[in-house]
């Protein structure tokens, strides 16, 4: 039997009774206290995270057995009261629904993907069109792309987030082209669509979104370059076009995570479109989730954000 969540963490209030499922983000070591042994977990769901303190009996081995049973990304059934937890039980994979713990895009995935494919079909440059179709006409790639997040926390950190972000960057780039028609539209479209494909392997999704080993050690920019290089080798993409596409992927992070800055207008447009979409979404969510009566909330990326 699948146990579904009843209440999201963001809606819990002090002293609320809880009999609900959560995902374990991390755990702290067992420590003694005056009545026995305790440990602490950070629990999460699709809305937020919360600290959980388990106050165990004086039987250290019994507490240790429970502690060792709980792993990061385990799903647990917790009973108690907010600020006073009494019981915890680890669930098997067939007893929970992943949608309770990982956010999903609120937009229609297939509609977004159909729009993306229409833009690919409109590309006139045969080499760029062939490169884009190499990826997005591949059923396995397309399926993974639709499901991938674009981040863990900051922006589009949910299933379908990569598709949502990519389409937004593309639309912004097409609007830029309306004002700056001398830009190579096909190159702009290709750069917008391909700039973040490395994120498909940078993140892994289970009961939470986490950075993969590949993502931690290499990062999505280099992963994307590797994916594109293999594809362009196979397709025999002309050298100058190959370098331009790779440059757009390499430079789209700007000062934040690239070792080169954009060197031609289309690359500059993709960089700014990427930053604009990510920052606007992040600031909007910050305003929507701020729990304060103040007019401002501080954020390390933006400084003081006005909430009114």
Q: Where are the domains of the chain?
A: 9-100, 109-289
Mean pLDDT of 82-102: 78
pLDDT for residue 88: 82
Report for 54-68, 162-176, 271-285: range of highest mean pLDDT: 162-176
pTM recorded for the entire structure: 0.79
CA distance 22 to 82: 13
pLDDT at residue number 86 = 63
Mean pLDDT for 126-136 is 98
- Please, which residues have CB within 8 angstroms of residue 248's CB and are 6 or more apart in sequence? 187, 190, 191, 194, 195, 262, 266, 267, 270
Run of H or E residues at 91: strand 84-91
pLDDT average, residue stretch 142-155: 90
Q: How far apart are CA 150 and CA 162, in angstroms?
A: 4
CB contact set of 221 (below 8 Å; sequence gap of 6+): 198, 249, 250, 252, 253, 257, 258
Neighbour count for residue 103 (Cβ, 10 Å) = 17
pLDDT at 257 over 70: no
- Please provide the distance, in angstroms rounded to a whole number, between the alpha carbons at the two ends of the chain: 45
Token pair, residue 48, equals 């937020």
Residue 47 has pLDDT above 80, yes or no: yes
Contact 59, 36 (CB under 8 A): yes
- Which CATH number is 109-289 given? 1.10.3210
Rounded Cα gap, residues 255 and 261, in angstroms: 7
Q: What is the mean pLDDT of residues 135-140?
A: 96
Give me Rg for the CA atoms of the chain.
23
* pLDDT over 70 at 84, yes or no: no
Average pLDDT, the chain: 91
Q: What is the pLDDT of residue 224?
A: 97
Angle value at C-alpha 196, between 195 and 198, nearest 5 degrees? 120
Q: Which residue has the higher pLDDT, 81 or 105?
A: 105
Q: Which residues contact 46 (CB under 8 A, 6 or more apart)?
A: 8, 99, 100, 101, 102, 103, 104, 158
d(CA 108, CA 62): 47
Q: Which CATH superfamily is domain 9-100 in?
A: Nucleic acid-binding proteins (2.40.50.140)
């Amino acid at each position: 039997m699948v146990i579904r969540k009843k209440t999201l963490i963001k809606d819990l209030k002090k002293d609320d009774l809880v009999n609900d499922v959560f995902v374990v983000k991390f755990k702290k070591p067992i420590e003694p206290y005056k009545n026995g042994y305790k440990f602490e977990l950070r629990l999460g769901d699709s809305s937020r995270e919360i600290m959980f303190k388990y106050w165990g009996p004086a039987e250290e081995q019994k507490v240790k057995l429970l502690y060792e049973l709980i792993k990061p990304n385990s799903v647990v059934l917790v009973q108690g009261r907010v600020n006073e937890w009494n019981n915890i039980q680890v669930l098997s994979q067939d007893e929970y629904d992943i949608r309770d713990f990982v956010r999903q895009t609120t937009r229609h995935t297939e509609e977004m993907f159909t729009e993306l494919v229409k833009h690919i079909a409109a590309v006139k440059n045969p080499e760029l069109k062939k490169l884009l179709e190499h990826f997005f006409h591949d059923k396995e790639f397309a399926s993974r792309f639709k499901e991938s997040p674009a981040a863990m926390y900051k922006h589009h950190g949910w299933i379908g987030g990569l598709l949502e972000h990519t389409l937004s960057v593309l639309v912004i780039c097409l609007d830029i082209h309306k004002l700056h028609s001398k830009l190579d539209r096909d190159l702009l479209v290709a750069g917008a669509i391909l700039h973040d494909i490395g994120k498909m392997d940078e993140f892994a999704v289970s009961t939470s979104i986490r950075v993969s080993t590949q993502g931690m050690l290499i990062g999505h920019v280099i992963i994307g370059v590797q994916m594109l290089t293999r594809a362009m080798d196979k397709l025999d993409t002309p050298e100058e076009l190959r370098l331009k596409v790779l440059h757009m992927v390499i430079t789209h992070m700007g000062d934040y995570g690239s070792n080169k800055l954009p060197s031609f207008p289309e690359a500059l447009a993709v960089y700014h479109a990427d930053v604009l979409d990510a920052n606007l979404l992040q600031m909007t969510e910050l305003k929507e989730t701020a729990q304060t009566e103040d007019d401002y909330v501080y954020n390390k990326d933006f400084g003081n954000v006005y909430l009114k």
